[in-house]
Amino acid sequence: MKYVRSFGGGSAEGRAKDKALLGGKGANLAEMASLGLPVPPGFTITTEVCRYVMEHGADAYPDGLDDEVAQALARVEELTRSRFGDAAQPLLVSVRSGAPASMPGMMDTILNLGLNDTTVEALAKQSGNAWFAWDCYRRFVAMYGEVVLGVVAADEHQEPPFDRLLDELKRKHRANRDQDLSEAALREAVATFKAEVQKVTGAPFPDDVRTQLWGAIGAVFQSWNNPRADYYRKMHGISSTMGTAVNVQAMVFGNLGDDCATGVAFTRNPATGTPELYGEFLTNAQGEDVVAGIRTPEPISELATKLPAAHAELVRVAKLLEDHFRDMQDLEFTIQKGQLYMLQTRTGKRTGKAMVRVAVDLVNEGKLTPREAVLRIEPGKLDEVLHPTIDPKARPAAAAKGLPASPGAAIGRIVFTANAAAEWAQRGEQVLLVRTDTSPEDIHGMKAAAGILTARGGMTSHAAVVARGMGKCCVTSCTALRVDVAKKTASIVGGGKETKLKEGDTLTLDGSTGQVFLGSLPLVPAQLGAELGTLMEWVDSFRTMKVRTNADTPTDARTARSFGAEGIGLCRTEHMFFQPERILAVREMILASDEAGRRAALAKILPMQRGDFAELFRVMDGLPVTIRLLDPPLHEFLPHAPQEIEEVAKELGQSPAKVAAKIHELTEANPMLGHRGCRLAITYPEIYEIQAQAIGEACALVAKEGVVVTPEIMIPLVMVPEELRRLRELVARAFEKALGGAQIAYTIGTMIELPRACVVADRIAEHADFFSFGTNDLTQTTFGLSRDDAGRFLPTYLDQGLVPADPFVALDPEGVGALIELGVRGGRATRPHLKVGICGEHGGEPSSVEFCHRAGFDYVSCSPFRVPIARAAAARAALAAEAKG
Ligand code: ADP
Ligand code: MG
Ligand code: MG
């Protein structure tokens, strides 16, 4: 077994494809080295060792690892003509984590390892720059102290100890910035840091370089299981069993003077997709300075003026890497004395907008085929492109401006800590997380917030990168902002005035322009841009499933049609009754004591329904419209306030007491499993009869206007075939009568939403022209789990990995999916061409859409804004099935 793979010096023992073993960082370093790019030499300890350590406990390494590391280190020494721990030519290394899946900033990195009181003097002498040597040393002691020795802040309100000590020194020596500290002050920093280590851990800082190396290797392996890495993995569905690799790499220095720099760059703009080298750098700086927001970095374009040769080389390498990987890359580089070194490349995280633009551009540039472009798309991310933006007509002057780090608009009440954001969001508040800068510890708060605003940091700061990954609006580097976490206040200063803000105040952020507004601004729906249109044309050329929408109103139907919906898959007729003037009629119907009373109420409902259906048919001219007959959650319609009861009583000509008694009688112990769906029509057939009449009259009406209607009448919650046989007969009779001789093709089918219906689907299909799987109820009834109550324990189940995903979000393929497959098989055994669709929330969730494709569905139906997502997911499913043969 080989646990260690070397890279650098023009070759590598691995390639980009070896991510599972070498981690993403190690695999790509190997690939870059093999391409002959300037990569400092180093080696990767494989993820296998991490899995070994997880199993056998910390510091229990597999046999032979020691020797392999020693050999690989010797190779690095040879290539760099230096020796680890040497008193004349010391080798310094970085020890970097790198998991198979990208987890930016979630685990730890240590730079300048190999420094001690002897080697620091050698470094000073060798470089002729003592300031530099001590700058490296103080950074190393702080990083090592924090990551390996656990000298960290007690909680998020406190400054990390080494930051605090450095700030004290800066004050003492009147230094504004880190780089203003003198060599003597840096020596003092090292001594102070070491004293802090001794105080906190009770042991001296390790001087032996091999102890340092193994300490760092161990810490990186352990960081695989730190809470923030764990949280990140859960959020992104990354398995926790893979483990991380460790990369040990010769240091190059961006802090040797003004002809040195460190930076990050994207081969295209990650917020918009614009083809331009995009990123930031700092001169005379090291490593994390750019990302940590300690100093505000300069845009890459400035590098062309400051270090033109290195800039030209970066442009060349960036293009080479993008062409090689055929995707937008995210690069980390360091320039030492004018010479460029590449430290990392990976597929760049991008916003939904950039995802679309880059995919279309790469095809137009001939680098990808449309098929590849569609397979690269993450359908879920299209959601961001469809998000509302601030109404341009109602845009006041901005209170402040920062950098447009992640686009979209966000409105919310401001909070100043990640914990507060999480707590407020839990209470149902829409919040904005406002901080000086964010760190990986803030990730749960960023997730909970609608948007993020930071005073510091650039376009590639932690906040910016994480927000873009989450598709969340983010404004960084808002320099007018001052945050006082302890007092829970902030202020915006500028133009000679100061606006005071406190926790709970409302702001609106525009992540596309970087503007910050006081109060809440009106938003307008998104427009589909030209690039999305092109991408969607490709998508549609590959997909075989139709995509419809769930829409109850003409507005929703119109939106969905503009997003490419090919019909309505679910119109919930009870949703047409929520307006106050209508709900009264429904209450009368529910509370009527006999058929005559119900018919009187239904007579009021009939014209309203006819009008609604007619309007929906007009909007969906030429496309099928599935109308589900009444399935009212009774308890949602019953009046409760005395005044409401009185109102209904008056209409019914009954006493309020009698009505109250009736309400009591109708109250169900478990409404979800109660008197609803077609059960209502079995007991009170006149309800479906009148609805069918309203649909028929609406059809006849619009057909006269020249509208092409294809109604599909759907009967919900069928459990035994006989329900459907009877109701179908009743509905067909009423519908045809209402048509009054108009020739309209229509179908009658059922919603499959109970396990029993799946099991007896063959017999149900005798009476159904189509099946539409109602997966919300089917999930509830299969799991025996009420959606409304699951919030109490489902998060624990998810947390403990008892269920891989929320089954109400992503269709459970194992249980619910198996029932669906049974239902499709049964239905099609009776009717080989039975039309099959889905109309639950799952119809717009990518993994569920892919399931539906595999199960042989004709269409999926989802909410209007998810129609483009479903189209893309359907195309990917078709391509995946094709690839499998
Ligand atoms: P992350 O996974 O959080 O990005 P990295 O391992 O990439 O952490 O390290 C963070 C930064 O440290 C890099 O971007 C780079 O600037 C710096 N760094 C890492 N290794 C070296 C090295 N060998 N020489 C110089 N800088 C390095
Ligand atoms: Mg890092
Ligand atoms: Mg990195």
The atom number, within ligand 1, closest to the CA of 332 reads 14
CB atoms within 10 A of CB 118: 15
- Which ligand has the minimum distance to the alpha carbon of residue 252? 1
Range 279-298 average pLDDT: 83
- Predicted confidence at residue 578, as pLDDT, reads 67
3-state secondary structure 737-761: HHHCCCCCCCEEEEEECCHHHHHCH
Q: Are 476 and 464 in contact (CB under 8 A)?
A: yes
Q: How confident is the model at residue 571 (pLDDT cuts 50, 70, 90)?
A: very high
- Which ligand has the minimum distance to the alpha carbon of residue 264? 1
- Predicted confidence at residue 301, as pLDDT, reads 94
- Predicted confidence at residue 637, as pLDDT, reads 78
Range 580-597 average pLDDT: 85
The atom number, within ligand 1, closest to the CA of 93 reads 23
Q: Name the active-site residue from 50, 478, 758, 839.
A: 839
Pick the residue with more confidence: 864 or 701?
701
pTM (predicted TM-score): 0.82
Range 585-598 average pLDDT: 89
CA of 103 to the centre of ligand 1 (A): 14
Range 617-642 average pLDDT: 89
Structure tokens at 307: 């270090």
Cα gap 475→478, rounded to integer Å: 7
- Predicted confidence at residue 579, as pLDDT, reads 66
- Mutation to probe ligand 1, out of 84, 95, 109, 244 (largest number of atoms < 8 A from CB): 109
CA of 548 to the centre of ligand 1 (A): 48
What is the percentage of the chain residues whose pLDDT exceeds 70? 98
**Could you say which DSSP state residue 501 is in?**
E
- Predicted confidence at residue 387, as pLDDT, reads 72
CA of 125 to the centre of ligand 3 (A): 30
* Residue 529 predicted with pLDDT over 90: no
- Mutation to probe ligand 1, out of 332, 339, 439, 441 (largest number of atoms < 8 A from CB): 332
- Predicted confidence at residue 59, as pLDDT, reads 78
- Which ligand has the minimum distance to the alpha carbon of residue 332? 1
The atom number, within ligand 1, closest to the CA of 288 reads 11
What is the percentage of the chain residues whose pLDDT exceeds 90? 73
Q: For the segment 133-159, what is each residue's pLDDT rounded down to a tens digit?
A: 999 999 999 999 999 999 998 887 788
Dihedral over alpha carbons 749, 754, 755, 760 (to 10 degrees): -30
Helices 47-56 and 209-223: angle between axes, nearest 10 degrees = 80
Range 579-605 average pLDDT: 87
CA neighbours within 13 Å on the CB side: how many for 843?
32
The atom number, within ligand 1, closest to the CA of 333 reads 16
Residue matched to tokens 């991008």: 350
Nearest CA to ligand 1 atom 17: 287
Q: Are 17 and 27 in contact (CB under 8 A)?
A: yes
Q: For the segment 476-508, what is each residue's pLDDT rounded down to a tens digit?
A: 989 899 999 999 999 999 878 899 999 999 999
Task: For residue 594, give every residue at least 6 positions away whose Cβ sits within 8 Å of its Cβ, in sequence order, or none.
Answer: none
Q: For the segment 22-35, what is each residue's pLDDT rounded down to a tens digit?
A: 999 999 999 999 99
- Predicted confidence at residue 292, as pLDDT, reads 66
Q: What single letter denotes the amino acid at residue 646? A: E
Q: Name the active-site residue from 311, 387, 444, 462.
A: 462
Q: How confident is the model at residue 643 (pLDDT cuts 50, 70, 90)?
A: confident
CA of 331 to the centre of ligand 3 (A): 8
Pick the residue with more confidence: 800 or 564?
564
- Mutation to probe ligand 1, out of 266, 344, 439, 441 (largest number of atoms < 8 A from CB): 344
Q: For the segment 739-772, what is each residue's pLDDT rounded down to a tens digit?
A: 999 999 999 999 999 999 999 999 999 999 999 9
Structure tokens at 865: 């804004």
* Residue 408 predicted with pLDDT over 90: no
Q: How confident is the model at residue 351 (pLDDT cuts 50, 70, 90)?
A: confident
* Residue 272 predicted with pLDDT over 80: yes
Q: For the segment 314-335, what is each residue's pLDDT rounded down to a tens digit?
A: 999 999 999 999 999 999 999 9
Q: For the segment 66-78, what is each residue's pLDDT rounded down to a tens digit?
A: 999 999 999 999 9
Q: How confident is the model at residue 795 (pLDDT cuts 50, 70, 90)?
A: confident
458 Ramachandran zone, left/alpha/beta (phi>0; psi -120 to 50): beta
The atom number, within ligand 1, closest to the CA of 103 reads 2
Nearest CA to ligand 1 atom 26: 287
Cα gap 535→379, rounded to integer Å: 11
Residue matched to tokens 């009448």: 713
Residues with a CB atom less than 6 Å from ligand 1:
40, 94, 96, 104-105, 109, 111, 249-252, 262, 287-288, 332, 334, 343-344
Range 691-709 average pLDDT: 97
Q: Find the range with the poorest average confidence among 184-193, 366-375, 518-527, 867-876.
A: 518-527
Range 843-856 average pLDDT: 96
DSSP lists the bridge partners of residue 510 as: 409, 515
The atom number, within ligand 1, closest to the CA of 249 reads 23
620 Ramachandran zone, left/alpha/beta (phi>0; psi -120 to 50): alpha
Please confirm, yes or no, whether 462 is among the known catalytic residues. yes
- Mutation to probe ligand 1, out of 32, 111, 280 (largest number of atoms < 8 A from CB): 111
CA of 501 to the centre of ligand 2 (A): 32
- Predicted confidence at residue 337, as pLDDT, reads 96
Q: How confident is the model at residue 580 (pLDDT cuts 50, 70, 90)?
A: low
For all residues of the chain together, what is the average pLDDT? Answer: 92
Range 18-24 average pLDDT: 96
Nearest CA to ligand 1 atom 27: 287
Q: How confident is the model at residue 841 (pLDDT cuts 50, 70, 90)?
A: confident
CA of 114 to the centre of ligand 1 (A): 16
* Residue 378 predicted with pLDDT over 90: yes
- Predicted confidence at residue 1, as pLDDT, reads 62
Q: How confident is the model at residue 405 (pLDDT cuts 50, 70, 90)?
A: confident
Q: Are 7 and 29 in contact (CB under 8 A)?
A: yes
Q: Which contiguous run of DSSP H or E holds residue 849? A: helix 846-854
